[in-house]
Structure formats: C-alpha cells, structure tokens
Structure 1
Amino acid sequence: MKAINKISVAREQPRVRSDQIDASMRLEQTKRKDEHYATEGFVLGVKQGKVIPYVDPNRPDYLDRLAAVAELDVMDQLEAQASDLPLTFGSRLLKRSDTHVGIISGATIAGLLEGTANFHQVSPWSPDESLSEIDLLLVGMPVVDREEAWSKAELEQIKFKLFPKIRELGLPIVVVTMSDPMRTNATITLAEDADVLLTTNPDGAEMYGQKLAMDVRIEHFQACFNPLYVSPVGRGRHRVQGAMLGGKLPGTGQRQRFQALRGLLTGLRREDEMLVASQGGVVAGLDEKRTGLFPSEFANVLTRDPKPELRSRVLRLMDLHVIAHLHPASSFAHPQETLEVLASGAAAMSTYSVGLNNEYPHVLLPDGPDDTQLQIRLLRSDDDHLRGLQLEGIRRSFNTRTSDRLMRQVLRLVGLEGQESKIHVVWLGHDDDSDLGAWRSQTVPEGVEAQRIKSSESVPEDTEIIIDAPVNMRVRHHLIQDAVNGFRMASVDRVLLTRNAPSSSVFELTETSDADEETVVARWVGGGVAEHDSAFLMDGSALSTIGSGSADLRSSQADLSVIVPVYNNGPYLLRKCLESLRRSSAFECMEIILVDDGSTREETRRIVQETGYLWPNVRTHLFPPGGSGSASRPRNHGLTMVRTPWVTYLDPDNEAVGDGYAELLDLCRKTELDFAIGDMLRYAKTRTLTRNVGILKSVIHTDESGVGEVPEDALKRISFQPMSIQALVAKTEWLKSLNLVQPLGALGQDSLFFQQMLQGAKRIALLDKPIHTYYGEVAGSVVNTVSPIFFQKYLPLEDARSEWLKRDGLFDDYVSRRMQRYVSVWFLPKFNNAVRPEDKDECFRLLNTICEMYQLPLSRSEDGQTAALLEIVNN
C-alpha cells in the first residue's frame, strides 16, 4: 500500500484555522462574481500545511496554477494497483446466444453487449458478402459524455448506405440508445427506418411515438452492465479507504445541484476522508460549459480520468464513490457510472435524483456537509455496516442488471428467441427439517426459480444450481441471491459462502475445502465446462448473526421511541429510515418500533424480522398479510408499544437529517414540554424546505432556548397549517392522554394528527433546522397516482376531521381559513388535470362527497372533465 500513502499526505497535515487566512484573500473571495467558488474549502483545503488558493479556470496560466496544487499523479498510482486485479473470472450465468448479430455502435454499447452473442462489426461500407452471415443489425448510439456523437455525414451513410443493404436481405434493424433525453434527433434519424427502438427512457414510447412511424416498435430497457468487465472480483487485494468523485459535473446553470455536490465534498473533507476527483476535462483546462462546474477549493484532489482498459478495475479499489447526478428531476437518467460503481462492490454517495432514490435506496443521499460527516463517521466506525452497504449494491445490480438480459430482450423483440428461461435452483434440505427455518426465510429474485427437496429425493433434471443447506444456522433472506450471483461473477463449478471470511479473501478463486461446518456450498450441475477448476468465494454475510437478538438489551437506556410503519418497502426501511437513524448521536438511546401493516412482499417481512433479531434496540410487530390501506393502523399500534418518555415517527422511505432528533430530545429533556418541533426537507423534482418553525414563531413567543407557551387560538392563527409529525419529538405520557386515533385507511392522516396535537399542547419548543427528509416522488406512492383510490383514501380522513372540528367548535374557521383554499389548490387540480377520462365520474362523486362534509358545493363542466367550487364561480 506504499502508493496510497502518498495519496494520503494531505490527510496527515494540521488543519488551518480561519484566523490564519490572509484578510486580503478573504476580501478577494467575497468580491468574486463567481460566488460558487467562495466556501469554507479555503479554510479546510490543505496540501502540505498550506491553504489551497482559488484557481480561476479563465486565467491563461490556469493549468500551471492547477499543477501547483493538484495531485495529478494520483491516477498513475491507482492504475498501478488496479493492473494487479483480474479483469474477470468469466461467468457461468452470462448467457450467450448463438445468434449472429451485426453491430455498428459506439464503444459503450458495444462493450456492454460483448460476450452475449456472436457479433460481427459492420460499417456503412461493409461488402454485401459480409452481411450474409448475420441475423439482424444492432445500432448502438454513442453515449453522451463517453464518446463523440456521430456526425451528420456518418448518420447519412448508415441510413442511406447500410440500411438499404440490410433491408434487401430481409433482416431486422434494432436501434439502442442510452442517452435520452439528449441526442434525440440523431436517434430519430436512424430509428425511423428501424424495426425496434430500445431506450432507457420509460417514457420513450410517448416521446418518440409522434415522430416515428407506427410500425416502429418502441420499448424500454433498464440500464445494465457487462459482468465480464464490471464486477467486484479481486477487490479485496488493494482496498483504498477513501472516496472517488466521478460522473458529470453540474452545468453552469445548475446552482442547486452544484451546491449539493459541494456539500458532499465539504463533509468528506471535514472528516479527513481521502478524496480523489477523477475529472479529466477539468484537469485539461476545458471550458466550464463543456466540463461543468468544479468547486475550485478542491483543486488539490483533482486527477485525470483512468485509462479505458483499467477503468473498471480502478472502480474496485475505492470504498466509496461520489457521483454528481446529472438530472435531479428525472425518474431514470441517472449516470451509468452509478450502476457500474455498485456492481464493482463500492458504496455510493450521490446528489439527489428521483430515479436514483427510487431504484437504489441504498445509495447515500446526505443533505449537505453535516449529514455527510455523520454518514462518513458511521461507515468508518463500523466496517460491517460499510460492507453490508456495498453488498446491497452488488446484490441489486447483479440480480437484475447484467447485459445478457438486454441481448435476450433484443432477440425476443425481433422474433429470434422465445421467452426468457429461469435459473433453476434446488435447496438440498435435511431429512430432519433442521434447515426449514433458513429455507422459509429466503426471498428469490426475478428470473430465479427455487425449490426445496430433501437429501433422500431425486434432483429435478432441469436443475442448474444445488445449494447444500445449512444445519441449524440462522441465515439472511438473501443467501440464495448471493449464491446465484457468485456464478454470475465467475465461471466455476462451486461457489462458497463462509461465515466471517475476511474481506481480503472474498470475490476470489479459492482452493478452500467445502467440508467446513461454517460454509454453505452452491454447486453447478447445469452442464458445460467451467473456465476455472477452483471454487469462487462469495462474501458470507448472509450467514452472519450480528447482534444479540435481545430486544430488551437497551430498554433501560432508551429515552426516545421511533415508530416506523412498514408496508412492502423493506429496502427503503433498511437503507433510508434505519440508515439515517444509525447516524444519529441519539441512536444508543433509541427504541425503534417497526410495525408491519401486513406486507404482501416477503422480502419486506423478512427484513423486518431480521432487523428485530439483529438489532438489540428494535422491537417488531407484524400484522397478517393484507394491509389496512394506510400508515394509520401501524402508527396507532406503535404508540401502544411505546415505553419510553419521548416518541416520534419516521416513515420507512424517509430519512432523519443530521442530528435533528438528538437536538429535539435534548430540548425535551431540559424543560417540561409537550413536544419539540423542527422543519422538514422535501425532495421531489427539487429540494425545498418546509419552515414549520417560521410559521409557529408567528404566533408563539419563545425564549432564547426556543421554548414558548401555545396560545389557545394558535391553530386558528396559523390557518390550521398541518406539519410533519416526523419533524417532532413528543412527550409520550401527554400524547397518549389525548387519546388520538389516526383514521384507518386514510391518506394524509398525519395532518389531522398534528392539528389535534397542537390544539392540545400547552408548551412546546421550536428548533430552526430540518429534522427529516420527505421524498415526494417515491415510485408507487398513492400520493403520486391520481385514481379513484386517491379520493377514496381522503374520505375517512375528512370524515374524522370534520367531526372533530365540529366537536371543538372549529368547523367554520377551518372551512374559511383552510378547506376552501385546500380544495382549490389540491383536490381540484388533481381532478381537472391528472384523472383519466374513464375515472372522472367516480372521482367526481368521491370529491363531491368530501366537499359536502364541509358544505362546499361543486359544479362540473358540460363535458364532465373539470370541476370548480360554486363559491369561486359565483364571485
């Protein structure tokens, strides 16, 4: 590891205090028009004990000044280590088609598909006889930020020279693009003469449908990677405990995205995390409009991009990769780098995007430097936790994203291959059923079919993998997944999973005996010859038994209960909610209550059960499968389980921000309060801050510690504004005394719950900082799907709310101060703009029922497509 010691020099230097910086330099920073360069990086950016100066990319001597501060030779050192890693151990499960595919493509898509069929490189000038060997033509569009686009002349050669030859032979043409929503004109130019267009854009059919002929089939495919090049094999040989920044930098007009990236880098620097910024365009001095914005105060960590032939192996060296997401509002356009980083076995940290949050909940999305610091401290203090995060990335990528799936999709679409066959796995059980618990705990991914047989039974003929079941061993739900993925990473006849194997020895070929009692053996029986005689050692964390399994271990120390309602979102629970709670300094005094509302996805139920077993401060309750329709039932039940002085709520797909819960708890401990509350972050297409505290301060006079008495008319004076119950910590005894019940099956039930809490509160505290992050664009959320179900779920909420308002004499005030406007800005736009025509009648009936509860009659247009409040029409 001698080379890495040189990289780490900057970490070993003393920090430079702000009062040591020359005043003139400070003045110069504050005067700069390019305000995106002036941050604390000038205080903490250290190289050999010196402050990193501002490096202006517009100066003629930029490259010379950059060379004076940057570690430009770092990539040389990393490449020297990467060259020692194996490129691949082959793959038993990368299915190669016998089809002969002519391909004209950019390097990215060509490399992605290598090994999945018999490929023949073609060009617009290919002689006719060379085309007679192929069964179809695949056109892979050059990928943005990886290769130059084809010129107009090249496009015309393909379209007018090559395509007619293919048509004369009666062969299908498939166009594949991974660059949407960019370079669409070039894609259309070729796709209009193709049979099939494949795009990573889920809305591709809508985007291209109006511009392409009806007979062009437009299909979506998921981003994928080639396991012959991208995998974790050998990654334990040279482990670099640091982070590498890659991906596309923010554009000159993306200020929020730029500040988000800067926040991540600043948090890493605060924690003395070794950082390498692989940004070849910046190092080369290219214009910012081409490269994007790079925070100049981090110039000392800049280095060039890795050589293409070593790139995938360089990725494996790092513990952590930082990715600047290109399109925060996109549901799909996250960088290909994300998938490749995860498949390489590294943890990933990124700026926010809708698609990234939906597809990869285990990718870390800290909000700013403070949050980043807490995350890095957790990863560095708990190596098992870091390892689990890395393995989750490997699992999620190898389960569904290897590139042979794309090739089989292409062949199915042109009729050259039938339906995809599944991988058949046999779990070889014991006659005494000692493995039954382990078998029942397993969740099997898409594309795998698993069955259990006893050792005395015959193995089915179509079996490809046999797993020798563990004896009386508690295993995790992903044991079968990990065993299968071992054969995706290596062409071997045996995959071994060994308990507590050191990280330096996993993902390697091994001669280790398979007779060890602590080892689970998966054997390949599907025919064919393996490339390697050795076995492949997978990480054995699926056999781990971390924790004592005692839910009462910390009960005497717990001060705060966190109620988490769960339903079919186990991966989010594990990597969003629980991940963020572990970062809190209050984690040791938390009791986490997981209440499963009857999940129908076995994976979620297994995650809840395993967490209850593995985490000593977690208690669980699982309702029978089926679900109640909302978070009300699990929240109500969770409150009955609370036995700590203080309580809060956190949804499984949300995250605690920074150390907010610890600070709220500290306020509660210091004085007699009903609850303490902070603000809420909301991430949807952009980042917004919901300032609960600012609203409450307008009616509550607080002392210097933020504590104040609640006026009797506070709820009226804030116009009944609801606030997140996940942004507060309440006194358990007081909250239970209110006898509040969240309406079953209701949507938005926590809004009523908070209104009732504030109405019943006498003394509260306000903390002017965000406490939790709410993700408003989560896939499958009923809030984002406007159908009759959406309005149905508001019926029990508004029925309960209207009855409460009448009992407490608040009804008229609520209608005039809030409900009339709420119908206008929330319900009516949903009905008018987002309900399908076939659902209009039912949705109007439901919405009208809601409005009648508040004596707000509706009118409906003659065509029935829109509605309005009569009061608004009359005025």
Structure 2
Amino acid sequence: MKHLNMAQEATRTEHGRATAEWIAERSRRAVEHYATEGFQRESARGRVVPYPDPAAPDFVKQVSEVADSSRMTDLESVARELPASFGSRMLRVTQRRVGVVGGREITDLVEGTADIRRLGVDSNSEHVKELDVLLVALPVVGREPPLTADELDVLARRIIPAAREFGIPTVGMTLSDPWRVDATRKIAGTVDWLLTTDPEGPNRYDKHMTTSGRVMVVDSHFNPLRFSPVGRERHRAGGALFSGRLPSTAQPERLRAWRSILSGLRRHDTKLTLASSAVMNGVPEKSRGLFPSEYLNFLTYQPDDELRSRVLRLFDLHVLAHLQPGAGHAHPLETLEALASGGVCMSTYSVAMNNDYPHVLLPDGSDDAELEVALLGHDRPHLRRLQMEGVRRAFARQTADRLMSEILRQTGLEDTPRKTVVLWRANEDDSDSELFASQVVTPDVDLRRVGMHEPAPGDAVIDIRVGRQTTGHYYLAQDLINAFRMASVSTVCMSVDAPESRVFEIVSDHECKEVDVVASWIGADEAQFDGTFVMDPSAIQPGGCSYAPAGLGRPKLLSVIVPVYNNGPYLVRKCLESLRRSTAFPDMEIILVDDGSTSPETRAIVREMAGLWDNVRTYLFPPGGSGSASRPRNKGLEMASTPWVTYLDPDNEGVGDGYAALLRICQETGVDFAIGDMLRYAKTRTLTRNVATLRSAIRTNEHGVGEVPHDALTRIDFQPMSIQALVADTQWLKSLHLEQPVGALGQDSLFFQQMLHGARTVALVDKPIHTYYGEVAGSMVNTVTPTFFRKYIPLEEARSRWLREHDLFDEYVRRRMRRYVTVWFLPKFNKAVSLDDREEAFELLRSLCGTYGLELRFAADGVTVTLD
C-alpha cells in the first residue's frame, strides 16, 4: 500500500494532484524490483505489493482520493462530437430474418447484416416461428453479466426446442471461451451448430453436440457501424489509452509485462488514461485484477457503452494487457476494436496475438516501449501508416458481414461464398498497368481490369479510376473497397493533397484532381449519405523513412541479413519495425533476400521496401522456395558490403538497442564476433543465457573480451546459439567459407558451431539482443510431419561430415547428440506426429539418428519411439 499512501501524500502536497514523476522518484527502487523476475517470485509467494488490496475496507475511499474521474467525463464530452457512424455500403448480406437471443455484445455485432430480430428469454414460440435462423449468443466475459442458470435453462428447454420444432436452424456463438466453458457446453448440447473463437473449441464441445463435426472456429469480428475511424481527425486526446481487463495475481508475467509498458511510456512523458470502472467502484471481484498503485492518478472509469467506440477514436495509441503468454486464444476483441478505430496497439504478448496481429507492437520491457513511442512521436507519417495497417487488416477480413455469411453457409441458407466484383478502369495510355498488376486483395474480392469506356457488367458494385500520374502501393484497391465498408456513400476519393482534417470525413465540396483516385459505387441500393468520403491517402503516398535519424546518409557499418518467405506482414511490423527503433539504424544496410515467396503480398512488400528505404537492398529468387532460410542467408552474406554483419528473421525482433551495443564493442575491440543473449517467447517468456554459457569456456577481461580456446565447443557441450544474437566481422566470416545446408532446418545451429570453432576472439555482452517467437503459426519447426524430419537429414549429414573433419565427432555424439535426440526429436515424434504418418516419419528419424550411429526402436506400445 505504500505507493498508494505516497500518492495521497503527493495529492496533499502538490496542489491536489499526484504526479507520476513525483511518485516514481519516491518509489523508484521498489518499482524497479517489481518489474523484474524478482516480482514473479514475490507474486508466487502471495506478496504482490505495491498493488492495493481491493478487499481492504478503505480501498474505494483511498482510490477516489487519487484517481481522476473527471478525465473520462471530459473525454466523453468530446466523443459526443464525433459521428456514431457513416453507415456501411457492404454490411448487409441477406434479407433473411435472423433472431438473436442472449448476449448484448453479439446482438450488436450482427446488427445491420440481416433482418435482425432481438429476442428475450421470455420470447414465445410465435416470435421464433417467424425466423429463418436463430442465433444463441453467450455474453462476452468482462463486458456483460453471464446468463443465469434459469436463463440458460429457458434457452435449452423452451426457445431452442421451439426453433427445432419449426425446422429453424439454431447456431450457438461464444466470443469469450475458454472462460465460460460450462455455459457453452450446455448450449452446445441443444443447438445445431456452435461457432466459437476458441481454437480448442472442437475438442471441448464436439462431444456435447447432437451431431458431430458442427463446432466451427471463427475469427473475432466487429461491426463497422460501431467501430470505425470515421471522424477521428476532428479531435485528438493525446497520450495512450488502456481500457481492457486487468491482470490478476494468477498472471504474474502479464502483470510484469503490462507494468513495464506503462513504465516505458511514462519515461517518454506519454500521458496515460487508464480506464477501469472495476477498480473505481471497489467491488472485490477476483476477475477484476490488480492495478499498480504508482499509476493510480491516471486511473479513471470506463466510458459509457454508447460512447466507448467513439472514445477509442480519440487516441492514437492503445495499451492492451492480454492473457498469459501461452494462451493460444487471445480474446482479442479490444485489439480488433482499437485497430478498426484507427489506433496503434501496444500489447503484452500472447501466442495468438503474435500470430493474428503482426502489426501490434509487443515490446519486451520498458526500454522497447520507450524506443517505440519515441519513434512514433518523431515520425507522424510512420504513425499514420501503422494506424492504417490496422484499419486495413480489420476491414479487409473481420467485419461482421463475413461472420453472417459464415452463419448462412453453415446452416445451408447460402450456397457459395460471396464475391465482391470490383472494376479497375484502365487508362487509355496503359500507364496504370504496373500499378494494377501489383494489387493484392482478399479472396472475397474479384478485381477486374476493364477498358476506360467498357460497360460495367451487372454483377459489379465498385468502379475504380486512377489518374495518369498516380503511383501507389499494393493495397490501394483494398483500401478503396474498405472505405465502402465504413461509409454508405456513392463516391470515395483518395487524394495526396487532402488535409488530415478531411480524412475519414464525408465532404460535399471535394474536387478530385488528376493524381487522385476515385472509386464509385455502381451496385444496387441507395447511399445513406450525400457527398464524397475522403479516404486516408497512405496507399498513394511514399512509405519510406519519413523521419530521418541523424547520419542516415553516412557509410553503412552493419549488414542485417533477413531471409524472407511468405511472411511479408511480419517482415514489416516485426523485423523492420524493431530495427527502426535502434540507434544503429542509420548505420545499417538491410539485405532482404526473398527465397521465392508464392505470396503476392510478400513479394510486393519486398519490392516496395527497396524503393522506400534508402538503406534496404533486395534479392528475389524465382517463386517456389528452397525449403529453409539457408539459401537466402547464404546469398545475403555474399551480398553484405559492410564491415560487420548479423542476421534477423522476419518474424523476430531486435530487443532495445542490442545491435548498437554489439556493433560498438566490435568496433572498439576488433573481435571476430560479439554475442549477447536471446529472449524466447512461446508459452512463457524465457531468457537464453548465451553469455553465461560461453563464460564457462572463455575467460574475458573487464570489457567482456576474451580469446577462444581450441576446445571451446567441447567445454560448452556443443551448445548452439542464435546467430541473430551476434554481430560478426564480415570479412572474417566470409573467410571461413561456410555454407548453410540448403533446404535444412536448424541450419543456424551448425553455422554457430562452425563460427565459434573458427573464432580467435569474441566479446560477450550481458543483454538480450533479439526476440525469437517460438510458436509462430505455420512455422516449419512447429509443424511436425515427415517433412520436418526429412529437412533435418541434410543438416545432420553436413554436421557429421564437419565434425569428422575436425575430430569432434565422437565428442559430439557423447556430449550432445544423444541428449538432443531425447529432448528434441523424440518428443516431436511421440507427441505430434499423426498415426498415419508414423511409419514414414520413423524411417526418416531412424536415418537421421543413424548418421551418428544411434539406434531407435518402437516401445512396447508400438506407437512411441525410444533411443537404445
């Protein structure tokens, strides 16, 4: 409670207001302690100070003396001046009558997509009889009260059976699993279909369904009538907003991460608005979570339900605190709604958050958060591009019309997926052909290039015309299509000259110029609003380094080799975003080597980066791919032209200013390479202590520099280390003539072993250098089929040859390989390979182990494998 008491003292001594700087100065040591691993130990023992106890008798009184309830009152007053909505030209997908009973949030979600009939649990059979489909909505956790046992009983015993009696399909839906498993199970046992955002939904609920195979996992969605960026440029609140669910004592990692983000923002003097009515009202509910007392003077209540979506638009930056890192289901409603409203999101980590939203910022600690918010503050165009990326993704994929279409398809009321036919009018001089060829749109869009005066086919709904001088990005067409999802107008215009005050607004006096892009609605139905909707012009503006750090044009010192394959969004918002935060960015030559991506979006991104950033070089292999990062890494090293070199994968991030620290010590000492530690995010956050391991074999001086003994590899038991956590002398590395085996997985482990064996001197730096995301969806390392084992064979064949050449083979087998097979390959085989693939996978694994003279056998169960 001491921080709360100090905040109250500050209130008395500083004219009725406690400042974060004053509190932070008085409590610096305690705050730093509780932002470290020590905090986790304390929380595990139940001593989670300095979080005030919500069950304390004077909790509400003490909080009310420090918190700022007027903050949200002022924000709501401003939010009322924003439009609730500009309608949507593409939201309605059917005229069918869809009844919705249950949760308010889901009822609001599907509003406008069909003829929605809101039913109460007291509705009679006559109300049900008029429907084409009945949607049973379970309330959203943290936003509305759960259904009572009596209400669930009425649904299960009266309303749903009434629909079945009339032959009306019933669909249960939940957006909050796995928290309300019991309620969902009860509904699952009565409905025809169950839609859930929980990836484990089929495993949890299929056995409860009357018909197997009818549990469907869907993405989260939002309704553009409630959440959109329209009118957001009229007012800016400044600072950052948090309005989600608070972490609890059972989530120490989430508490640590959230608190460290707040600390980084305050270091940059970012004004915070932390909205939590649960803390303000003092109800001691376990689900309410904890609130750090040094930030209580930024606390206010959550906005009114009717104004919440408009309050979101007032902020450029949103802070989120999602589930524990290992959660495969991120409950990302707050994220999606903030992105749709035009906000940049900074969040604590979860597996699903990293997989689903690569453009959401996931800082590791306060340093990362401070560096990122500084970058956003210095580079307004970069901030706007990041905002638009969130808007683009949300409106391109997750608007409520897609959800309603999915419901109609599952119930057999709609046969085929909808296609939006969009025409692109060709310029008479063909000057638009290259721009059109670069366009990437979602699968539900049929984009056709037609002649300037060619009649429009009857199924077309949008007509796009670009000027003769127009240049643009690959997402130009998608942004124009999205505009009709957020505004019911006849015309959309994108203009490079449009002032910010007019963007996301409907204007009656806008005159389009030759370089503008105009999209017209040519489909049926009338527009709700007259005038032209002015869309954000990011798609026709340059997108490079608007903010040029000092020295950007000087000779480069560090080549960063980035192997790319079908992961363009991660490349831009993970890898490159983290490099831009570094003070070494002006000294970097960034080499993007595309391994033959088959994703048009990825290849478009790689090409654009070379034209937009003057320190980016690219190389694109023909489409097809080699099967691993080896080929592009080999090519990147060949291309490297600077004194020093490192590697960073597209879906990983540099941590803080780690690369700058490594580069500096390399320049000062002339070592062969400098290395730091690696952060690994998977189900938990762990620190791979490369430096501690190497210190067991290498004696270093006060600067962390030491000579590498000839037996360093055996001393560290051949422990591989991330080549993304080091900076090496380029000419020295090239002189080793190393080639990473093409098509192999884990190839960088051999590469590091060869580097260490060939090094004379190294520098050890006690800090994390990069973040490795260990459970990226679609990653080969996380997809265990026979191909997984097949890709390790060329690696181990190459490694065994190299080990024999250097008389290290026997030591490697004894010190590492047996354990490596036991802790890596066998769990992958025994736990993740399907029964159908076991025979093929076993033969491959046996061949792999045979390279080292190791024998495998099936256990007595005939299914699992052990090492003899």
TM class by shorter chain equals over 0.9
Deviates further, 761-770 or 541-550: 541-550
Deviates further, 495-504 or 670-679: 495-504
- 2:70/2:300 contact within 8 Å kept: yes
The answer to whether structure 1 residue 625 and structure 2 residue 623 are counterparts is: yes
* Equivalent position SS for 2:238: strand
After superposition, the Cα gap between the structure-2 partners of 1:722 and 1:557, relative to the gap in structure 1 and judged at 3 Å, is: same
The residue number in structure 2 matching 1:325 is: 322
The residue number in structure 2 matching 1:563 is: 561
The residue number in structure 2 matching 1:739 is: 737
The residue number in structure 2 matching 1:711 is: 709
**Counterpart pick for 1:827 among 797, 818, 825:** 825
* Equivalent position SS for 2:842: helix
The residue number in structure 2 matching 1:127 is: 124
Distance 2:587 2:27 in 1: 41
Deviates further, 635-644 or 93-102: 93-102
The answer to whether structure 1 residue 156 and structure 2 residue 153 are counterparts is: yes
- 2:313/2:342 contact within 8 Å kept: yes
Distance 1:285 1:862 in 2: 59
1:326-725 to 2 correspondences below 5 Å: 326-547=323-544, 556-725=554-723
**Counterpart pick for 2:250 among 242, 250, 253:** 253
* Equivalent position SS for 2:866: strand
The one-letter code of the counterpart of 1:264 is I
- 2:23/2:294 contact within 8 Å kept: no
Deviations, residues 392-416 of structure 1 (Å, cap 9, x unaligned):
1000100010111111211222222
TM-score for the superposition, normalised by structure 1: 0.93
Deviates further, 849-858 or 465-474: 465-474
The answer to whether structure 1 residue 281 and structure 2 residue 271 are counterparts is: no
1:62-101 to 2 correspondences below 5 Å: 62-101=59-98
Distance 1:187 1:99 in 2: 26
Distance 2:583 2:32 in 1: 34
Distance 1:389 1:32 in 2: 33
Deviations, residues 769-805 of structure 1 (Å, cap 9, x unaligned):
1000000010000111111110111011011100000
Deviates further, 683-692 or 91-100: 91-100
Deviations, residues 575-613 of structure 1 (Å, cap 9, x unaligned):
000000000000011110000001000000000011110
**Counterpart pick for 1:290 among 281, 287, 291:** 287
Distance 2:305 2:569 in 1: 33
Deviates further, 702-711 or 560-569: 702-711
Distance 2:709 2:33 in 1: 47
The residue number in structure 1 matching 2:232 is: 235
Deviations, residues 447-492 of structure 1 (Å, cap 9, x unaligned):
1110112214333222111110232432111000100000000000
- 1:334/1:353 contact within 8 Å kept: no
The residue number in structure 2 matching 1:764 is: 762
User: Could you tell me how far 1:54 is from its partner in structure 2?
Assistant: 7.6
The one-letter code of the counterpart of 2:85 is T
User: Could you tell me how far 1:190 is from its partner in structure 2?
Assistant: 2.1
After superposition, the Cα gap between the structure-2 partners of 1:25 and 1:700, relative to the gap in structure 1 and judged at 3 Å, is: closer
After superposition, the Cα gap between the structure-2 partners of 1:281 and 1:14, relative to the gap in structure 1 and judged at 3 Å, is: closer
Distance 2:33 2:668 in 1: 42
Deviations, residues 356-400 of structure 1 (Å, cap 9, x unaligned):
100100000000101110011001010111111110100010001
Deviations, residues 595-644 of structure 1 (Å, cap 9, x unaligned):
00010000000000111100011011111111011000100000111111
1:820-859 to 2 correspondences below 5 Å: 820-859=818-857
* Equivalent position SS for 2:144: coil
The answer to whether structure 1 residue 811 and structure 2 residue 788 are counterparts is: no
User: Could you tell me how far 1:813 is from its partner in structure 2?
Assistant: 0.6
The one-letter code of the counterpart of 1:94 is L
User: Could you tell me how far 1:183 is from its partner in structure 2?
Assistant: 1.3
5+ residue gaps, structure 2, are 1-14
Distance 1:757 1:739 in 2: 10
Distance 2:91 2:262 in 1: 37
Distance 1:133 1:794 in 2: 60
Distance 1:24 1:484 in 2: 51
Deviations, residues 84-122 of structure 1 (Å, cap 9, x unaligned):
000100011112411112221211001001111112232
The residue number in structure 2 matching 1:46 is: none
Distance 1:560 1:301 in 2: 42
After superposition, the Cα gap between the structure-2 partners of 1:28 and 1:580, relative to the gap in structure 1 and judged at 3 Å, is: closer
The residue number in structure 2 matching 1:3 is: none
- 1:465/1:524 contact within 8 Å kept: yes
After superposition, the Cα gap between the structure-2 partners of 1:757 and 1:295, relative to the gap in structure 1 and judged at 3 Å, is: same
1:28-47 to 2 correspondences below 5 Å: none
The answer to whether structure 1 residue 169 and structure 2 residue 162 are counterparts is: no
After superposition, the Cα gap between the structure-2 partners of 1:583 and 1:813, relative to the gap in structure 1 and judged at 3 Å, is: same
The one-letter code of the counterpart of 2:75 is L
Distance 1:785 1:861 in 2: 24
Distance 1:395 1:20 in 2: 44
- 2:396/2:478 contact within 8 Å kept: yes
5+ residue gaps, structure 1, are 1-8, 43-52, 871-875
The one-letter code of the counterpart of 2:606 is V
- 1:123/1:158 contact within 8 Å kept: no
Deviates further, 451-460 or 590-599: 451-460
* Equivalent position SS for 1:819: helix
- 1:431/1:456 contact within 8 Å kept: no
The one-letter code of the counterpart of 1:614 is L
* Equivalent position SS for 1:210: helix
User: Could you tell me how far 1:860 is from its partner in structure 2?
Assistant: 2.4
User: Could you tell me how far 1:330 is from its partner in structure 2?
Assistant: 2.2
The answer to whether structure 1 residue 780 and structure 2 residue 794 are counterparts is: no
User: Could you tell me how far 1:179 is from its partner in structure 2?
Assistant: 1.7
Distance 1:827 1:168 in 2: 54
Distance 1:19 1:141 in 2: 46
Deviations, residues 520-568 of structure 1 (Å, cap 9, x unaligned):
0011111211011111011001111245999xx9675211010000000
After superposition, the Cα gap between the structure-2 partners of 1:650 and 1:25, relative to the gap in structure 1 and judged at 3 Å, is: closer
Deviates further, 60-69 or 14-23: 14-23
The residue number in structure 1 matching 2:141 is: 144
Distance 1:213 1:25 in 2: 54
User: Could you tell me how far 1:181 is from its partner in structure 2?
Assistant: 0.7
The one-letter code of the counterpart of 1:773 is T
Distance 1:649 1:775 in 2: 15
Tell me the matched-pair count: 848
Distance 2:637 2:129 in 1: 71
- 1:195/1:216 contact within 8 Å kept: no
User: Could you tell me how far 1:842 is from its partner in structure 2?
Assistant: 1.0
After superposition, the Cα gap between the structure-2 partners of 1:654 and 1:172, relative to the gap in structure 1 and judged at 3 Å, is: same
Deviates further, 747-756 or 120-129: 120-129
After superposition, the Cα gap between the structure-2 partners of 1:864 and 1:297, relative to the gap in structure 1 and judged at 3 Å, is: same
Distance 1:673 1:327 in 2: 40
